[in-house]
Structure 1
Amino acid sequence: MASENPQPPDSVEEPPTALSRRTFIAASAVSGAAAVAGPSLLGAETAAAATDASSSRVSLTVNGTRRTVTVDNRTSLLDLLREHFGLTGTKKGCDAGACGACTVLVDDRRVNGCLTLAVRLDGAQVTTIEGLAPGDDGPLHPLQQAFVDQDAFQCGYCTPGQIMSGVGCIKEGHTGSPEEIREWMSGNICRCGCYVKIVKAIQQAGS
């Protein structure tokens, strides 16, 4: 005989509500307060530790002057020179190592400042375009003078990098012929197309 109050076969008995509206609001308030207080109570030490881990102290000699600074580990030599030391003669071109506008000398070797991490240069000797001549009132470096003599620039944006790379090229002994100079200066782009005069300037200073 069928039951007087049959249960529908697909019905599911709902569990009792776990939280009342009042309990939910109270729990939310407590959670919000913890979220606000968290950074000041628990997160401060973690944030400080993360900051310490992401920065380093580096000492290097720039144009004859010893400099010590704490920088983010991701800081490039180019940004260190321009933004921390105010040496804006070194130019930011492509920021990808393709144009040579940021060329400087590190321990008398040519490097692209945009591709070189500052924290890896502890104890290094860095020379920028500002450090080639002995002073504001002194004579120009021979290559700087040769660029003037040969009129080896137009807009001038790439000129600091061209000169620094040219100094490295001369130090390395790669000035035997115009072809050799062009090969060893090929990492420096002049968008104005002054390559012939740049080669002549390097020949003049390297002779």
Structure 2
Amino acid sequence: MTNTLELIVNGAARRVPHPGDRTLLDVLRDEFGLKGAKYGCGKAQCGACTVLIDGSPARACVLRAKRAAGHEVTTLEGLADPVTGTLCMVQKAFLECEGAQCGYCLNGMVMTATALLRVNPSPTRGDICAAFRHNLCRCGTHLEIIASVERAAELMRGAQHE
């Protein structure tokens, strides 16, 4: 009898041999080839590994894969349109506003922004800073990141009125 773990990743059921105590980050990267989430600190403090679990940000570097069973896991790759590959509005805004320099933290920034804008479509700068308090950008593009989130909010509100 083979032990497997079933995860719902980016809307699709995925099976992996039971990972034991492997982290969700390891399973996503090594078993499923999803490289958007990065290994940063390994202590859930930098945000590079952020994924969404049922729409809320979670640190995949410390979350055991088996804890994600029964929950919807969304990675950076799952934000784009699955048919056309068109980037989501948050991704577009980060490109437009140059919200990344080296790009290492970008996954966490985009995933955190996506989660924030789902619950608060009109965040203030204070709301944005609070949401990003556990995300680290070593390049110092914090102003561009904030501008990217503000732009994404504008794009999303504009799309609702079309």
Q: Which amino acid aligns with 1:81?
A: L
* Residues 1:192 and 2:139 aligned together: yes
Structure with the larger RCO, 1 or 2 (CA within 8 Å, 6+ apart):
2
Give me the whole-angstrom Cα distance separating, in 2, the residues matched to 1:74 and 1:120. Answer: 10
**Normalising to structure 2: TM-score of the pair?**
0.88
Aligned position for 1:150? 97
**Normalising to structure 1: TM-score of the pair?**
0.70
* Deviation (angstroms), 1:71: 2.7
Query: RMSD of the alignment, in Å?
Result: 1.9
Q: Report the identity percentage.
A: 37
In structure 1, list runs of 5 or more residues that go unmatched: 1-51
Aligned position for 2:114? 167
Give me the whole-angstrom Cα distance separating, in 1, the residues matched to 2:123 and 2:113. Answer: 13
Please, which of 98, 107, 112 is the counterpart of residue 59 of structure 2? 112
**1:42-191 map, 5 Å:** 57-135=4-82, 137-173=84-120, 175-191=122-138
* Deviation (angstroms), 1:84: 0.9
Larger radius of gyration: 1
Give me the whole-angstrom Cα distance separating, in 1, the residues matched to 2:85 and 2:75. Answer: 16
Question: SS at 1:72's partner residue?
Answer: coil
Please, which of 152, 156, 162 is the counterpart of residue 205 of structure 1? 152
Q: Which amino acid aligns with 2:45?
A: A
Give me the whole-angstrom Cα distance separating, in 2, the residues matched to 1:69 and 1:59. Answer: 7
Give me the whole-angstrom Cα distance separating, in 2, the residues matched to 1:115 and 1:172. Answer: 24
Higher helix share: 1
Question: SS at 1:145's partner residue?
Answer: helix
Aligned residue pairs total: 154
In structure 2, list runs of 5 or more residues that go unmatched: 155-162
